[in-house]
Amino acid sequence: MSNPLISFVLLTFCRPQEIERNVKEILTIDYDPFEVIVVNNGNATDLKKLPLYDHRLKVLNLERNIGVGGRNHGIRESSGQFIVTLDDDVFGFNAESLHIALERFFQDATICAINFKIIDDLTEHQVNWIHHKKIEDFCDVEFKTYEISEGAVIFRRDLISDTELYPECFFISHEGPDLALQIIKKGATIIYCPDIIVRHSHAEGGRSSWRRYYYDTRNQIWLAARHYPISMAIRKLFIGLGSMFFYSLRDGFVRYYLRGLRDGFIGLKAVIKTRVVLSGEARNLYTLIEKENPSFWYMIKRRMLTRKVRI
């Protein structure tokens, strides 16, 4: 049986050195066939140092920065049966990683997405833990999740194609949970696999210090409006917006928090038109995963000790 075509979709913005390193690294993977699609998200960064002579590489130059919509462009342009999406500063995905992922997909036809274990490129400490579980207990355990680490994940095309992909109106932040909820509603599952390890260099190019305090706040409101039953939405927004207020107050970004609140509620009328409530078996699966969440006080203690909020 021939190998399935694999698509690598890399989103980049103002990080020429990182994307060059990333592409050259991927092109050395001992696997065939695969393609690499670089989505240049509306910036004038010179990408001429990329090995454009390689027939496996394609660059999409967008006219402006459309945030997570850039990933959607790359996914739709791809042809692979399986799609790996990486941030430009996430490295280390190799042939072994790919074979582990394919084995899990072939073992369980309900798996739509596999999240990777992410470590710091320098310290090798685990970072970017988005899952609602105690990292000290679950970092090396495979489990089902309702999160997607957008820049370190592999998708099964035939299941992801049934969704609208990332909500482009979000621009950035909470697009992973939104897509995860879409996937769960389709009856598919998402897992975290600690055996697939990638490295995050946390490049600062293209980042704005205020953006998380604004987008996290606004998009929590829109996520709740698009997916959660009323009681669940109230509970999650009370905790989530309260936490963001604390972070913004602590870090000096209250005005961006308030702008996020304002724009979140202003945009509700349009967002609610896309509302599909989490219900039935999908809600049961979500609730089952949520039972393993750490306590509210555990999360408060952990996050109070973390300065800044980083995407």
Give me the mean pLDDT over the 204-216 stretch: 79
pTM of the model: 0.93
Query: Rounded CA gap, 176 and 195, in Å?
Result: 21
The model's pLDDT over 115-171, given as tens digits with 9 standing for 90+, comes to 999 999 999 999 999 998 999 999 999 999 999 999 999 999 999 999 999 999 999
Structure tokens at 261: 């609140």
- The CA distance from 66 to 169, in Å, is 9
Return the exposure string of 238-267: e unless at least 16 CB atoms fall within 10 Å of the residue's CB, then b.
eebbebbbebbeebebeebbebbbebbeeb
HEC string for 180-230 = HHHHHHCCCEEEEEEEEEEEECCCCCCCCCCHHHHHHHHHHHHHHHHHCCH
User: Residue 175's pLDDT is what?
Assistant: 97
**307, pLDDT greater than 60:** no
How many CA atoms does the CB half-sphere of 130 hold within 13 Å? Answer: 25
Hey, what amino acid is at 126?
Answer: Q
Given pLDDT bands bounded at 50, 70 and 90, which one contains residue 209?
confident
Q: Where are the domains of the chain?
A: 6-200, 211-304
Q: Which CATH number fits domain 6-200: 3.40.50.720, 1.20.1250.20, 3.40.50.450, 3.90.550.10?
A: 3.90.550.10
* Whether 212 contacts 134, CB under 8 Å: no
Q: Is the pLDDT of residue 1 over 70?
A: no
Confidence of residue 311 (pLDDT cuts 50, 70, 90): very low
Residue 68 CB partners (closer than 8 Å, separation 6+): 150, 166, 167, 168, 170, 171, 172, 175
CA distance 276 to 228: 8
pLDDT digits (tens, 9 = 90+) for 216-235: 999 999 999 999 999 999 99
pLDDT at 305: 58
- Beta-carbon contacts of residue 171 (< 8 Å; ≥ 6 apart): 66, 67, 68, 69, 215
